[in-house]
Amino acid sequence: MTCPRSAALQQWLSCHDELPPPAPLVAHVQGCAVCQTALLTLMTTRIGIPEAGQVTCTTAEDDLPAMLELERSAGAATAARAYPDLWWHLWTCPSCAQVYHETALLLDARIGEELLEPVPPAKRSIVRLARPFLTAVFGPQLAAGATWSKSAPQHQLLADEHLPEGRLSLYVGAEDAHHWYLEAHMHPPRTGTLLIGLGEEVQSIPLQDHSVAQLSHLPLAFLYHEDGPELAVCVAPAG
């Protein structure tokens, strides 16, 4: 299966650093699966990305943080060459691609090489808890040694937000004198992944039973520090 416009694609790619693609060619590629595949193949040959191997969603989830960190430090092209199997997988798996973009968003990643983005990032609501708010919540607990009185509830409500994806309730609770946990509840229940960002740290946690995700062993001092980052939470839907 071929397309006569593939040759025009190859010609443009050979000089695309200097010249933008002609508008008619862009319009054609938007609706031609053959040319989309040809463009991807020609591009990967040009930037030196090897052919894809076998990769599962589980493997992709394990490697994604390292790939994103490399993108931030060395650029998207370097990350794609270092993780070619994952890069190819993100082109063909909408669920993993969604997690990729949501995680990058929480990290405030800026990918300058637009040809390397697997899919256009979807807009998603993010719950942001500012540092002054976190300090006000956790400050008294830090002074008390992060202990709960016997009359205190097992956990307390930290935030309750209505998002397009549903209602997201965030709870916090103490594990011991120095560590807390964050628990998220989705209403109504849904499949997906909860992404929690605290500065450079981003955690990806599947929603258990379609409604609850928990991040444990959070240092109280890290949550309370006045110069620390905000807490950002969003939900990436299952593909």
Reply yes or no on whether the pLDDT at 185 is more than 60: yes
| Residues with Cβ within 8 Å of residue 38, at least 6 apart in sequence | 3, 6, 9, 10
Reply yes or no on whether the pLDDT at 169 is more than 70: yes
Reply yes or no on whether the pLDDT at 239 is more than 70: no
Q: Which of 29-43, 128-142, 151-165 has the lowest mean pLDDT?
A: 29-43
Please calculate the CA angle 16-21-23 and round it to the nearest 5 degrees: 175
Whether pTM > 0.75 for this model: the answer is no
Reply yes or no on whether the pLDDT at 70 is more than 80: yes
Reply yes or no on whether the pLDDT at 168 is more than 80: yes
Tokens 């930037």 locate to 47
Helix (H, G, I), strand (E, B) or coil at 139: helix
* pLDDT attached to residue 220: 72
Q: Which of 21, 30, 27, 29 is nearest to 3 (CA)?
A: 29
Reply yes or no on whether the pLDDT at 30 is more than 70: no
Mean local confidence (pLDDT), 72-92: 78
Q: Using a CB cutoff of 8 Å and minimum separation of 24, what contacts does 35-39 make? A: 35/3, 35/5, 35/6, 35/9, 38/3, 38/6, 38/9, 38/10, 39/9, 39/13
Mean local confidence (pLDDT), 217-232: 75
* pLDDT attached to residue 3: 65
Q: Dihedrals φ, ψ of 100, to 5°?
A: -55, -50
